[in-house]
Amino acid sequence: MSRRVVITRAVLEATLSLLRSGLPGVDIVTNPHERNLSRDELLAMVGERCDGLLCTLADPLDAQTIAKFPAKLKVIATYAVGTNNIDLKVAKARGIIVANTPDVLTNASAEIAVGLMLACARRFIEGDRTTRAGEFTGWAPLMLLGRDLYGATVGIVGAGRIGQRVAKTLARGFDCRVLYTARSAKPEFERECGARRVELEPLLRESDFVSLHCPLTPETRHLIDAKRIALMKQTAYLINTARGPVVDEEALIDALEKRAIAGAGFDVYENEPRFSPRLAGLDNVVLLPHIGSATISTREAMGQLCAQAIVDALNGRTPINVIQI
């Protein structure tokens, strides 16, 4: 009997080609909808015969869901770095290998973080709307005044691969002063861009831009709450390209409405894909639809890692990107 692989969102053809070449005769079933699957739809697709599952961060693979997967499911490859949507302990107990896509989305994700900083501080979205509405009547000294990214102090919350790439880009390209938080000091990173490790509270007080890059864990859920937002400068911007629940979204909206901080840039949301309608009415936010890794080359690389992990696992090999639980 041929192997059966379920894919929860449409992927690039290169991903499918690798599955077909590595698993001759494979039966590939892909979500036909242009939306995420509900839990019941996901379970129906997986059915009673599934050898490999290629999922996304939008698929809630909690203990209850994994418990309903067929016993022959051997591998879950997630089209993401973060695994907060997967109950890793339950997967391990079921003997399911879990693999992710590390390293390959670092540059693309860093670009989005820097782009959001520029879009917020230089008021790109407001300028675009003004021009499209026919309200641009000529250059004026006071029109759409923003703030400088050059020479600013940037606080990196979570100096992993992406956080470090953002910091290096800003230090080298924009002469920014870099502060960062991390569980341990990173001497090489500090030498490369003059970064200084500090606690979260002073980072929030001193930074002109606060950029979040920490994983979502029980400890980081609502890490940025009302109390910590209140520590930020009134002229500061908060950028979240990590995971939505790292920020207490309602507390942040309160601060934005009161102009307690200058603005914010989002690529992720606390209850994604839903977000508070209050956000849409604010002119001091930039809202993106979780496109941090959305470049052709990055998505190709992510798909290749996922497909190769499934091929390796179903051929009795350990994937290079297996998550050690």
Residues involved in catalysis: 243, 272, 290
Bridge partner list, 157:
181, 212
What is the sign of the dihedral through the CA atoms of 99, 103, 104 and 105?
Answer: positive
Under a CB-based contact definition with an 8 Å cutoff, are residues 39 and 60 in contact?
A: yes
H or E element that contains 107: helix 106-121
Amino acid sitting at position 52? G
Determine the Cα angle at 323 with ends 272 and 271, to 5°. 10
How far is 231 from 220, CA to CA, in rounded Å? Answer: 17
Query: How far is the C-alpha of 148 from the C-alpha of 226, rounded, in Å?
Result: 26
Whole-number Cα distances in Å, 115 to 11, 40, 123: 25, 37, 11
CB atoms near residue 36 (< 10 Å): 17
| Bridge partners for 180 per DSSP | 156, 197
Distance from C-alpha of 9 to C-alpha of 98, rounded to nearest angstrom: 18
Q: Which of 180, 121, 177 is nearest to 149 (CA)?
A: 121
